[in-house]
Amino acid sequence: MDHLLSSMTFIPLVGVAIILLLPRQAHNAIKWTAVAATTPPLVLAVWLYLNFDRTHPGFQFVERAAWIPAANIEYHMGIDGVSVTMVLLTALLCFLCIFASWGIDKGVKGYFALFLLLDTGMMGVFCALDFFLFFVFWEVMLLPMYFLIGIWGGPRRVYAAIKFFLYTLLGSALMLIVMLALYYSVEPHTFDMTKLMEAHGSLGRLSMWAWLALFIGFAIKIPAFPFHTWLPDAHVEAPTAISVILAGILLKMGTYGILRINYSIFPEETAQLAFWCLAALGAWNIVYGALCAMAQKDLKKLVAYSSISHMGYVMLGMASFTPQGINGAVLQMFNHGTITAMLFLLVGVIYDRAHHRDIDGFGGLASVMPVYTGVTAVAFFAALGLPGLSAFISEALVLLGSWGRYPELAIVGASAVILTAGYMLWALQRIYLGPVNEKYRNLPEINGRELFTLLPLAAIVVVLGVYPHAVLDLMRLSLEQLNQTVLVHF
Amino acid sequence: MDLGNLGSLAYFWPELVLVATILVVFVVDLFVEDKERLGDLALAGAGLSLLAASRQFGGETGWLFSRMIVLDPFAVFFKVLFALAAIAIVWMSLDSREVRSFRSQGEYYGLLLTATLGMYLMAAASNLLMAYLSLELLSLVSYVLTGYLRHDRRSGEAALKYLIYGGVASGTMIYGMSWIFGLTGSMDFAAIHAELFSGSPDRLTAFVALVLVLAGFGFKIAVVPFHMWAPDVYHGAPIPVTAFLAVASKAAGFALAIRFFYPVVSEMAGDGTWKFLAGLDWPQLLLVLSMVTMTLGNLAALSQQNLKRLLAYSSVAHAGYTLMGLVVLSDEGLRAVLFYLVVYYLMNLGAFLVVMIVANATGREDIDGMRGLAWRGGAAPAVAMSVFLFSLTGIPPLAGFVGKFYLFAAVVERELYFLALVGVLNSVVSLYYYARIVKTMFLDFPEAGDGTVRVGLHSGSLLWGLVAGTVVLGVYWAPVVGLVDRSLRFWIG
């Protein structure tokens, strides 16, 4: 297993090459190739989960090779407790989303080729330990995303695609400058993140600006207020599977980037700026996202805004610098990935049938589609943080952790749970309960393929709700170490 | 090595081959019926010249023709680049509907090679007189080539504009050169350098002279405020000529500018950095020009409907980016410029090639003409165009990103963070108009009356070659950087 991470990253790329060689009309062959290209990463991810050394806080499965020796750019991959959870999430969601995309019938070849390219980019971001490599993977995701939203999306897809693209490119442009500044700040010049971490942001008086530039780049991806406006547009227009990827994985890159780069390379600035940029803004995001979600008529927009709210918990937890808070934050990243994926898949199911997502346009679906309603209830209850389901644990940890440092913000965060319960239950009631809407009396029940994409996620949500250590154990030591590097600067 | 006229000929093969080809093309034109053969002839000549030039890599260095011309790795690098450009443009012309409509194709190919000869000499000039003559040789031929579509009013207008602007620019430049001659008493680059650094010429006079000379170079590389001709000329000229001007002529301008601003008016400080003459702060001037150029070029490009005009403004913006490498006074910066010119060659030539393919099929050069290109038989050019445009934006893993990366790296190394910030913000702006083209090709659907697009044999092969180059250089570029590093040696004597 010397090349485990590279295999997980590049097997989808092999799939891209095969798909490009297949004839345009061979829809089934293309789809099964996509399955074949995402299965090995999933199998490897399971193997990785079982063999990840939980007693070792540093980077594991490290691979390095010279890439451009003249500039000291390396191909350097490796994962620690933070990235391993994200790698698992990526492998799982990409596999499931292939099945969620089964209904695509326009430009099939292009869609699945771009999807697999996206997979490579995301996996690469979570594995890269060379800043240059990280940046390349980060940008590689943009192109497929642009086309996936722009070609296969809803009516305002073109606008949404370019907005997403411009916002993210702006963020990465700032990141590029910081990356170069860091490169020249160490002797010998290097992009190796582990070496940059040792040098601890030797940028002198510029460190603060560097931290902020990186933060803006990542905050756009989270997305944190006021950089969030691309998200509802992108989500509403994107096809179902792409919404799942966007909310499930892409948003995590923002918080992951902050943990991986801001925290470990600029711990001192992190200690100074965390309150305003992460904790206060996170609490604001929680409330703001929930209020926006409450006002939505479109179910998909509601889920999109709820993402903003839930990612606020991640920011708040990260900024607490207590073991509970920071563990809760990363666990919340994982949980939000699975729950929000379920929610978007579920929205996709009724959208496929009714061709609209108007919350008030349904009613009484529970008696028409009982199985579907059952799965939806699990997802909704998980999202609102019902004890026994996964999000409860992570949100409780976050609030517990932040209480120790910022009790006022913890109170704000905890009160917002009521708002979340409010909009979730209200939506649930309007769509599934009450008198049956005659228009949708004959809506077909959820089918086997759709259930196949949802049940693994539901299982994870339940299991982690009861036994969170299945994930917490993976990351505990790495996060402890990361936390310590920042804590010494308080 | 300092050779006289006859002795120099042995080191002059690339140019001699070109001269011979030009003469042969002109003469054969009088006799053959099948004018397409002339293109093949020109291609063979340019190919042989490329061979001769590439054999000069790592060879002897020194002055030729009594110090009028210099033979050093820097000059050889550019000769190879120009030869490659000539080959690509001739190859492209073989498929061009516009070129096929010319009655005098031999003249066209002959002039194209003459312009190439002018560029060769520009990159190797080591005397103000030679610099001026070679620049004029290139310019005069460019004016003619621009106006080659005789029955198209736009083309004639463009040629006239080019001629007038060019005349003013070169007049300004030669005026500046006369000041330099007056200050230093010599036209020889090495002698000027020695006089500037050993004597004590009046700083203000020297600075004014530099600014005047800059007008000439600035015109060739289309830097604001000397860029006004570019959109009209790019728009009016036949597409292969536009591509030639955008890629090769611009590189020639940079070659001469680098030779003038670096070994002539600056001094190598060892350790890969350069010092400008005290009191003669031209880097500051170029820094401002660079920022203004990229910003203005990008903003103007946003509202263009015609693809050639859009690419013209984008090439103005790219001149601004490239200029960043010149202001930092380091070998890193120069390396970035040279490398950028290589990747710029690939992606910009590619973009013009796609414009030509579409124009050949539909006669349209505007963005609307690209509507739904991917869905009406043009999937290959549409994909290729996207690769070129995203590369121009600077998105990895494409060559344009690596090029910009080196430019920004050079700037950040000198801690010019503001310049870097302006540069990256401009890249974001540029994405908007590049993506607009991509959007039209993929996200819009063709309407009735939009013809189907077929790719010819010549343009198809060139297209895939350029795409391959753009992608491969985006992933693995070490050999090209190595080559550029070896080419950054000036013969100063």
pLDDT for residue A426: 92
**How far is the alpha carbon of A184 from chain B, nearest alpha carbon, in Å?**
6
Radius of gyration of chain B (CA): 22
SS3 state at B366: strand
Residue B353 Ramachandran class (φ > 0 left, ψ -120 to 50 alpha, else beta): alpha
Chain A residues whose CB is inside 8 A of the B403 CB are: none
Contact between chains at A176 and B408 (C-beta distance less than 8 A): yes
**What mean pLDDT do residues B400-427 have?**
94
Tens-place pLDDT, residues B219-267? 999 998 899 999 999 999 999 999 999 999 999 999 999 999 988 888 8
Among the partner residues A70, A166, A181, nearest to B482 by beta-carbon distance? A70
Chain centre to alpha carbon of residue B197? 31
Per-residue pLDDT at A305 exceeds 80: yes
Per-residue pLDDT at B488 exceeds 70: yes
CA atoms within 13 A on the CB side of B483: 16
DSSP state of B149: -
Contact between chains at A206 and B420 (C-beta distance less than 8 A): no
Per-residue pLDDT at B201 exceeds 90: no
Tens-place pLDDT, residues A266-275? 999 999 999 9
Contact between chains at A68 and B397 (C-beta distance less than 8 A): no
SS3 state at B268: strand
Residue B394 Ramachandran class (φ > 0 left, ψ -120 to 50 alpha, else beta): left
Kind of pairing between the strands at B266-268 and B69-71: unpaired
**What mean pLDDT do residues B449-460 have?**
85
DSSP class per residue in B59-87? S--EEETTTTEEE-HHHHHHHHHHHHHHH
Contact between chains at B439 and A181 (C-beta distance less than 8 A): no
Residue whose C-alpha is closest to residue A453's, from A89, A43, A96: A96
What span, in angstroms and rounded, lies between the C-alpha atoms of B192 and A396?
76
Is some CB atom of chain A closer than 8 A to the CB atom of B420? yes
Chain B residues whose CB is inside 8 A of the A130 CB are: none
Contact A486, A89 (CB under 8 A): no
pLDDT for residue B32: 84
**What mean pLDDT do residues B423-446 have?**
91
As to burial, measured by CB atoms within 10 angstroms (0-12 exposed, 13-18 middle, 19+ buried), residue A29 is middle
Contact B139, B230 (CB under 8 A): no
Per-residue pLDDT at A474 exceeds 70: yes
Q: Mean of the per-residue pLDDT values for chain A?
A: 92
Tens-place pLDDT, residues B53-105? 999 988 889 999 999 999 999 999 999 999 999 999 999 999 898 888 887 88
Tens-place pLDDT, residues A30-60? 999 999 999 999 999 999 999 999 998 889 9
As to burial, measured by CB atoms within 10 angstroms (0-12 exposed, 13-18 middle, 19+ buried), residue A26 is middle
In this structure, what are the phi and psi dihedrals at residue A203, rounded to the nearest 5 degrees?
A: -100, 0
What span, in angstroms and rounded, lies between the C-alpha atoms of B69 and B48?
21
A and B: number of Cβ contacts within 8 A: 80
Chain A residues whose CB is inside 8 A of the B439 CB are: 150, 158, 161-162
Among the partner residues A150, A169, A184, nearest to B443 by beta-carbon distance? A150
ipTM of the complex: 0.91
In residues, how long is chain A? 490
pLDDT for residue B16: 96
pLDDT for residue B445: 85
Chain B residues whose CB is inside 8 A of the A180 CB are: 405, 408-409, 412-413, 420
In this structure, what are the phi and psi dihedrals at residue A320, rounded to the nearest 5 degrees?
A: -80, -25
**What mean pLDDT do residues A352-361 have?**
89
Of chain A, the percentage scoring pLDDT greater than 90 comes to 77
Chain centre to alpha carbon of residue A372? 25
Q: Which two tokens stand for residue A434?
A: 């009450």
**What mean pLDDT do residues A361-378 have?**
90
Question: How many CB atoms are located within 10 Å of the residue A208 CB?
Answer: 16
Per-residue pLDDT at A181 exceeds 80: yes
Is some CB atom of chain A closer than 8 A to the CB atom of B439? yes
Per-residue pLDDT at B449 exceeds 80: no
Place of tokens 């009484």: A364
Beta bridge partners of A358: A298
Peptide bond into B446 cis (omega under 30): no
Is some CB atom of chain A closer than 8 A to the CB atom of B390? yes
Contact between chains at B390 and A183 (C-beta distance less than 8 A): no
Query: CA-nearest residue of chain A to B439?
Result: A158
Per-residue pLDDT at B36 exceeds 80: no
Question: How many CB atoms are located within 10 Å of the residue A361 CB?
Answer: 17
- How sure is the predictor about A2, in pLDDT bands with cuts at 50, 70 and 90? confident
Per-residue pLDDT at B411 exceeds 80: yes
Chain centre to alpha carbon of residue A467? 22
Query: CA-nearest residue of chain A to B387?
Result: A143
Contact between chains at B401 and A139 (C-beta distance less than 8 A): yes
**How far is the alpha carbon of B265 from chain A, nearest alpha carbon, in Å?**
28
Per-residue pLDDT at A13 exceeds 90: yes
Query: CA-nearest residue of chain A to B481?
Result: A70
In residues, how long is chain B? 493
Q: Which two tokens stand for residue A108?
A: 């099939």
CA angle B403, B405, B410 (to 5 degrees): 100
pLDDT for residue A1: 65
Dihedral over Cα of A33, A34, A37, A40: its sign: negative
Chain A residues whose CB is inside 8 A of the B420 CB are: 177, 180
Q: Mean of the per-residue pLDDT values for chain B?
A: 92
Is some CB atom of chain B closer than 8 A to the CB atom of A247? no
Contact between chains at B442 and A151 (C-beta distance less than 8 A): yes
DSSP state of B245: I
Amino acid at A309: S
What span, in angstroms and rounded, lies between the C-alpha atoms of B188 and B128?
6
Beta bridge partners of A464: none
Contact between chains at B412 and A166 (C-beta distance less than 8 A): no
Per-residue pLDDT at B130 exceeds 70: yes
Contact between chains at B478 and A136 (C-beta distance less than 8 A): no
**What mean pLDDT do residues A190-212 have?**
86
Contact between chains at B427 and A169 (C-beta distance less than 8 A): yes
Per-residue pLDDT at A201 exceeds 70: no
Query: CA-nearest residue of chain B to A209?
Result: B417
Pick from B294, B324, B430, B431 the residue to mutate for testing the A interface (most A CBs within 10 Å).
B431
Contact between chains at A181 and B417 (C-beta distance less than 8 A): yes
Chain B residues whose CB is inside 8 A of the A166 CB are: 428, 431-432
Is some CB atom of chain B closer than 8 A to the CB atom of A418? no
Question: How many CB atoms are located within 10 Å of the residue A51 CB?
Answer: 11
Cα dihedral B445, A143, B467, B316, rounded to 10, equals 90
Q: Which two tokens stand for residue B453?
A: 């697009």
Q: Which two tokens stand for residue A481?
A: 């170490």
Among the partner residues A151, A177, A184, nearest to B421 by beta-carbon distance? A177
* Reduced 3-state DSSP string for chain A: CCCHHHHHHHHHHHHHHHHHHCCCCCHHHHHHHHHHHHHHHHHHHHHHHHHCCCCCCCCEEEEEEEEEHHHCEEEEEEECHHHHHHHHHHHHHHHHHHHHCCCCCCCHHHHHHHHHHHHHHHHHHHHECEHHHHHHHHHHCHHHHHHHHHHHCCCCHHHHHHHHHHHHHHHHHHHHHHHHHHHHHCCCCCCEHHHHHHHCCCCHHHHHHHHHHHHHHHHHHCCCCCCCCHHHHHHHHCCHHHHHHHHHHHHHHHHHHHHHHHHHHCHHHHHHHHHHHHHHHHHHHHHHHHHHHHCCCEHHHHHHHHHHHHHHHHHHHHCCCCHHHHHHHHHHHHHHHHHHHHHHHHHHHHHHHHCCCEHHHCCCHHHHCHHHHHHHHHHHHHHCCCCCCHHHHHHHHHHHHHHHHCHHHHHHHHHHHHHHHHHHHHHHHHHHCCCCCHHHCCCCCCCHHHHHHHHHHHHHHHHHHHCCHHHHHHHHHHHHHHHHHHHCCC
Question: What kind and span of H or E run contains B266?
Answer: strand B266-268
What span, in angstroms and rounded, lies between the C-alpha atoms of A361 and A287?
27
Contact between chains at A173 and B427 (C-beta distance less than 8 A): yes
pLDDT for residue A278: 92
Q: Which two tokens stand for residue B405?
A: 């990366």
Is some CB atom of chain A closer than 8 A to the CB atom of B471? no
Contact A248, A93 (CB under 8 A): yes
pLDDT for residue A92: 96
Among the partner residues A136, A151, A158, nearest to B396 by beta-carbon distance? A136
Chain A residues whose CB is inside 8 A of the B388 CB are: none
Contact B311, B351 (CB under 8 A): yes
Contact between chains at B413 and A184 (C-beta distance less than 8 A): yes
Residue whose C-alpha is closest to residue A375's, from A462, A296, A264: A462
Tens-place pLDDT, residues A135-169? 999 999 988 999 999 989 888 888 999 999 999 99
Contact B237, B163 (CB under 8 A): no
Measure CA of the first residue to CA of the last residue in chain A; give whole Å. 40
Q: Which two tokens stand for residue A336?
A: 């939000």
Is some CB atom of chain A closer than 8 A to the CB atom of B229? no
pLDDT for residue B160: 94
Per-residue pLDDT at A200 exceeds 80: no
pLDDT for residue A48: 94
Tens-place pLDDT, residues A239-263? 999 999 999 999 999 999 999 999 9
Among the partner residues A139, A146, A177, nearest to B420 by beta-carbon distance? A177
Is some CB atom of chain A closer than 8 A to the CB atom of B418? no
